[in-house]
Amino acid sequence: MITSRSLCIIFFCILLVLLPDIVRGECTCDPEDEDRDKTQALKYKLAAIASILVAGAIGVYLPVLGKTIPALSPERKIFFLIKAFAAGVILSTGFVHVLPDAFENLTSPCLDEHPWGDFPFTGFAAMVAAIGTLMIDAFATSYATSYYRKSHFGEAEDNVSDEEKVGEHAGHVHVHTHATHGHAHGSIEYAGESELLRHRVISLVLELGILVHSVIIGISLGTSESPKTIKPLVAALTFHQFFEGMGLGGCITQAKFKSRGVAILALFFSLTTPAGIAIGIGISSFYDENDPTALIVEGIFNAAAAGILIYMSLVDLLAADFMNPKMQDNKRLQFGAHVSLLLGAGCMSLLAKWA
């Protein structure tokens, strides 16, 4: 005789068998049934282009103003707090914004189960990008410092040899002292140039990671035709671009590029997301966000961008600053930097609710 307990067990087993199919049934590749209004959506997109362009330019140029505003100079303690906040923003962008989008793209039901369901491609692509960033970072820094050493110290050694030949009859003590002074001066100069080259490599690699995901989010916004979707994204992406610009601007400031180099890097950063939106507007009539090729390309690029941003924020921004002797010797500055880091990461994570 079947008891009520047996019926409950049977019902529970049937539910366990059918639940995956029920959940899977909710995920379709059909276009979402949204309130579509192309005219209204276009107005929001144009507003987004203007606001994101202005916010990005202000954000990236704000740290650069440290050259004219003493309070924002990289040598000041407040600069550590600004960089910690910006690094938190970039770290949150990688973990909370870009990486989840990549997971969503590469685990979409619109993709074939084999091979996309057999292997965690998102994490793998992010890992490869992070390792690739490390290799580029190391090789570029090594090559630049080696080139500088050969071009500068080779000349210095030739000069020292010439001085030794001229001063052979003047006595050994004078020549030795002069040469030692020259090597000491050269070592200090070399250390400063090596650090400067490192900052330049960091700036260029960080900009690359930011540009990749900026184009993608711009195209995503540009292809949407739902005002309800676009409206909250405009404000969220404006703040997003401003905070990211501050992080990149801090790195550009420390790299001490010439005015032309600063202008080019800032211009590329400011224009990338608006350009992505413009591209999205142009292809919105035939673009299908659920197309397998679009999902794979977007997912791989998002994962790679996340790996680059996470590596750069943790290794080149946070670790470098938090291990800096200036911060290690100042407990109040350390505490302030930790608070700034948490604020930056928290603010950017909160924006993930809308963007």
Helix/strand/coil percent split, the chain, to 5: 85, 0, 15
User: Around Cβ 163, how many Cβ atoms within 10 Å?
Assistant: 15
**What is the token pair recorded at 164?**
């030794």
pLDDT of residue 3: 54
Whether the CB-CB separation of 108 and 290 falls below 8 Å is answered with yes
C-alpha to C-alpha distance for 233 and 221, rounded to whole angstroms: 8
- Spans of the chain below 70 pLDDT: 1-35, 66-67, 70-75, 148, 151-192, 355
Which value, to the nearest 10 degrees, does the dihedral of the CA atoms of residues 185, 189, 191, 194 take? -150
Residue with tokens 């609710």: 353
C-alpha to C-alpha distance for 80 and 15, rounded to whole angstroms: 55
pLDDT of residue 31: 54
Whether the full predicted model's pTM is greater than 0.75, yes or no, is no
pLDDT in tens, 7-37: 444 444 433 433 344 334 344 565 554 567 7
pLDDT of residue 83: 83
**What is the token pair recorded at 233?**
């994204």
**What is the token pair recorded at 342?**
């948490």
pLDDT in tens, 221-277: 888 888 888 888 888 888 888 888 888 888 888 888 888 889 999 999 999 999 999
Whether the CB-CB separation of 247 and 345 falls below 8 Å is answered with no
Residue with tokens 């224009």: 271
Q: Which of 315, 258, 251 is nearest to 74 (CA)?
A: 251
pLDDT of residue 13: 47
Q: Which of 141, 73, 93, 132 is nearest to 245 (CA)?
A: 93
**What is the token pair recorded at 117?**
């369901």
C-alpha to C-alpha distance for 159 and 247, rounded to whole angstroms: 42
- Listed in sequence order, the residues at least 6 apart from 23 whose beta carbon sits closer than 8 Å to its beta carbon are none
pLDDT of residue 274: 94
